[in-house]
Amino acid sequence: MATIHYELGADGIATLTFDEPGSPVNTMTLAWQNDLAEAAERLEHDKAQVKGVLLASAKSTFFAGAELKGVLQLTADDAKTGFTRIEALKRSFRRIETLGRPVVALLNGAALGGGWELALVAHARFAIDDRKIQFGTPEVSLGLMPGATGITKTVRLLGLAAANPLLMEGKLFGPREGLELGLVDGLAADAAGLRAQALAWIAANPNAVQPWDRKDYKMPGGTPSNPKIAQGLVVAPALLAQKTRGLYPAAQAILEAMVEGAMVDYDTATRIESRKLAKLMVGQTTKNMVTAFFFNMNAIRAGKSRPAGVPKWKPAKVGVLGAGMMGAGIAHATASRGMAVVLKDVSLDKARAGFEVVRGITAPRVAKGRMNEVQQAELLNRITPTADAADLKGCDLIIEAVFEQRELKAAVTKEAEPMLAADGVFASNTSTLPISGLAQASMAKQKFIGIHFFSPVHKMKLVEIIRGHDTDDETVARAFDFVVALGKTPIVVNDSRGFFTSRVFGTFVMEGATMLAEGIAAPLVEHAALAAGMPVGPLAVLDETSLALSVHVLDQTRADMAAAGQRFEPGRGELLVEQMVKEFKRPGRAGGGGFYDYPKGEPKRLWPELKARFEKPGVAADINELKQRLLYRQSIETARCLAEGVLTSTIDANIGSILGIGFPAWAGGAMQFIESEGRERFFANAHALAAKHGERFAIAPAVRACIEALPR
């Protein structure tokens, strides 16, 4: 067998060691599935000599799960073949676990997805005691489901309620948590310890069987017929529909398999899994999510966008200019990763206020037991609030996070940059202003870069790195390394107004404002965005990010374009936002209200005046067209960024649009959405939208050529 080493010792212990040739991890390739069937057959043949079975790995991890490349090529016609292969794999699993001999998994590293389902074949599992190791079934995050007995076994081991977060949310857990859950039977310091514990367990349990194969088995917490369970199941579909809006079929399939499987015998339950997984595997949503959250995300983690040949780097001391919410968030993110931070503002009081914001970010973690008071104190002690620029001396990296005003940013740059350590890096956290323009205030333009965090920093995973015209490769690589050191996901883009994320985000919110300007009812605009899969409606987002800030950016753009001798004509959405701020004095949530009112102690609600001032009763609005406009507008602008060289890869486009803008995960990102629509269909729909709603939907020949040149 090429992928499994079978060894039967004189002591009667049969060891199946998984070792996929030429791969750093073990995956469920077709060759491995065939080898597992052969291994099961050999175990049955040698049964008389076998006293116990060990499942082990020759890799640094136990098992990585399913091989996903083939999923992208599947069509609807492949569902039947998929079902057959899933059932064949389960037969191999069942033959091993019903051999009549104790089976133990030696978890020397991570076991995720199909890898954890393989571990569940064992009657007992022992793991290395390392908090970095993760177990679980995160398939739902890829548009898939744990369909290789994972749902059936998890429900039968834990019960419906306890299994829910592991299956429906894809929650991962470590060895110690697995021990508490009863999914891991013991911990060891090393591989030798694992084997020793496993052999002792085999000796103590010579007649081990799976819990559900015992005559006295009862499902923990009860079956769906239990009144308490039934009561929860009545509302579960409605709650799921509210959360997913019907856009994530995997979540629906998992819930169905959990409940339906809990009402039938084990073998029937696993067939239910197989049918649902076979259907999911050939769906477009699965392809979209696998592309984005597996292949694209892994490419980013592998440093595909990082300039090669530059040594890894981590700053020891970081300066943050501006102690507002953004600056405080950056300070928290940096200090939490062990780096010293100097948090500077114009006065010590303001700097200390930012310091208290950091304390406020950590407080809930302490209250929930995720951080103790000693750890909190250590984090806070790494931050020095100050009003004195001299305290920045020796910083390896300084990040300015002051107001979006070119003159102010230039002033703080000139004040702080001389304090940098030799060969240090200066970064701007601007969200819209071109980096090359801001770099004019720098003494070393090659060491000046954009590092655009998203708010709130402690929750948002994406960071957009912007290369200016003069930024060198070393600086880009260092910015990339810093973002990775923060535990965040970096994308690298080239300089332009609004870069990528702010530019495309602007098309989303302004398309919503344009709809309102057309006379479409505000509630319908917001609902269309949610129905399309956006996390928040465009009017609500504008309120949160500040209508006043949008108007400030508009004014700055007007001034910049005029200075360059260029003509700038705001769209209907921009003009409506300007009217909200300047005429109606509605600057956004922070200013007391914008498109929404925020009554104290009550949920926010749309400003009643929107109906009288903007809604036109005679305007017909089709919800599907509104959804299409919101998604197409973002995807078209993303394609323009790619054609213009602002973006350099569809990988950064997809991950950046999901994590930074909230583009629907079911679509796999803004560029993957084009592929899922079908290129010709996308072009035709965009042309129709342009004819009806304006040139912002038009796809220029260069953009079309860029899309058509992309690999399928």
Residues 468 and 506 in one domain: no
What type of residue is 679?
R
Taking each helix axis from N to C end, the angle separating 79-97 and 30-45, rounded to the nearest 10 degrees, works out to 30
**For residues 690 and 322, what is the distance between their CA atoms, to the nearest angstrom?**
42
What type of residue is 102?
P
Can you give 459-473 as a three-state secondary structure string? CCCEEEEEECCCCCH
Three-state DSSP class for residue 306: coil
**For residues 57 and 106, what is the distance between their CA atoms, to the nearest angstrom?**
8
Q: Report the candidate in 257, 280, 289 with the shortest Cα–Cα distance to residue 82.
A: 280
What type of residue is 334?
T
What type of residue is 430?
T
**For residues 613 and 611, what is the distance between their CA atoms, to the nearest angstrom?**
6
Residues 685 and 570 in one domain: yes
Residues 482 and 417 in one domain: yes
Question: Cβ(542)–Cβ(480) under 8 Å?
Answer: no
Q: Is residue 297 part of a domain?
A: no
Q: What is the pLDDT of residue 558?
A: 86
Dihedral Cα 425, 428, 433, 437, nearest 10 deg: -30
Question: Cβ(358)–Cβ(399) under 8 Å?
Answer: no
Residues 410 and 511 in one domain: no
Dihedral Cα 651, 657, 659, 663, nearest 10 deg: -130
Contacts 24+ apart (CB under 8 A), 693-700: 693/629, 696/507, 696/571, 696/633, 696/636, 697/629, 697/632, 697/633, 697/636, 699/636, 699/639, 700/640, 700/643
Q: Is residue 654 part of a domain?
A: no
Q: H helices within 246-290, ranges in order? A: 249-262, 266-281, 284-290
The residue among 259, 282, 305 that closes a domain is: 282
Q: What is the pLDDT of residue 127?
A: 98
Residues 506 and 494 in one domain: no
Question: Cβ(669)–Cβ(318) under 8 Å?
Answer: no
Question: Cβ(65)–Cβ(79) under 8 Å?
Answer: no
The residue among 282, 297, 325 that closes a domain is: 282
Beta carbons within 8 Å of 522's beta carbon, 6+ residues apart: 516, 539, 595, 606, 610, 611, 614, 615
Beta carbons within 8 Å of 506's beta carbon, 6+ residues apart: 498
Question: Cβ(429)–Cβ(399) under 8 Å?
Answer: yes
Contacts 24+ apart (CB under 8 A), 161-166: 161/221, 161/229, 161/232, 162/220, 162/221, 163/258, 164/258, 166/136, 166/137
Q: What is the CATH number of the domain that holds 74?
A: 3.90.226.10
Three-state DSSP class for residue 225: coil
Q: What is the pLDDT of residue 692?
A: 96
Question: Cβ(61)–Cβ(114) under 8 Å?
Answer: no
Residues 351 and 413 in one domain: yes
Residues 211 and 100 in one domain: yes
Token pair recorded at residue 531: 């129905």
Q: Is residue 296 part of a domain?
A: no
What type of residue is 593?
G
Residues 85 and 14 in one domain: yes
Query: Which domain, by its residues, includes 607?
Result: 502-645+678-709
Q: Report the candidate in 701, 687, 698, 647 with the shortest Cα–Cα distance to residue 670.
A: 647
Question: Cβ(120)–Cβ(153) under 8 Å?
Answer: yes
Q: Is residue 516 part of a domain?
A: yes
Q: Is residue 651 part of a domain?
A: no
Q: Is residue 324 part of a domain?
A: yes
Q: What is the pLDDT of residue 432?
A: 84
**For residues 303 and 491, what is the distance between their CA atoms, to the nearest angstrom?**
10
Residues 496 and 508 in one domain: no
> If you count them, how many residues does the chain have?
712
Classify residue 271 as exposed, middle or buried by CB count within 10 Å of its CB (0-12, 13-18, 19+): middle
Q: What is the CATH number of the domain that holds 553?
A: 1.10.1040.50
**For residues 414 and 428, what is the distance between their CA atoms, to the nearest angstrom?**
13
How would DSSP label each residue in 307-350? PTT------SEEEEE--SHHHHHHHHHHHTTT-EEEEE-SSHHH
The sign of the torsion formed by the CA atoms of 407, 409, 410, 416 equals positive
Phi-psi region at 338: left, alpha or beta (left = phi > 0; alpha = psi -120 to 50): left
Give the pTM.
0.91
Q: Is residue 493 part of a domain?
A: yes
**For residues 455 and 457, what is the distance between their CA atoms, to the nearest angstrom?**
5
Mean pLDDT by 10-residue block, N- to C-terminus, for the chain (712 residues)? 96 97 94 97 97 98 91 92 96 97 98 97 98 96 96 97 95 97 97 96 97 95 87 85 92 96 96 97 96 95 94 97 96 98 98 97 93 95 98 98 93 97 96 93 97 94 97 98 97 93 95 97 97 96 91 84 84 95 94 95 95 90 96 98 96 97 96 97 98 96 97 86
- H-run or E-run covering 35: helix 30-45
Token pair recorded at residue 79: 């569902």
Q: Is residue 80 part of a domain?
A: yes
Q: Report the candidate in 274, 280, 271 with the shortest Cα–Cα distance to residue 251.
A: 280
Question: Cβ(511)–Cβ(629) under 8 Å?
Answer: yes
How would DSSP label each residue in 644-710? HTS---HHHHHHHIIIII---GGGTSHHHHHHHH-HHHHHHHHHHHHHHH-GGG---HHHHHHHHHS
Number of domains in the chain: 3
Q: What is the CATH number of the domain that holds 390?
A: 3.40.50.720
Residues 88 and 52 in one domain: yes
Q: What is the pLDDT of residue 42?
A: 97
Residue 63 has phi, psi (to 5 degrees) of -160, 135
**For residues 355 and 340, what is the distance between their CA atoms, to the nearest angstrom?**
13
Q: Report the candidate in 655, 669, 704 with the shortest Cα–Cα distance to residue 684.
A: 704
The residue among 460, 476, 500 that closes a domain is: 500
**For residues 107 and 138, what is the distance between their CA atoms, to the nearest angstrom?**
18
Phi-psi region at 113: left, alpha or beta (left = phi > 0; alpha = psi -120 to 50): left
Question: Cβ(398)–Cβ(318) under 8 Å?
Answer: yes
| Number of alpha carbons in the 13 Å side-chain half-sphere of residue 454 | 22
Residues 201 and 174 in one domain: yes
Residues 122 and 97 in one domain: yes
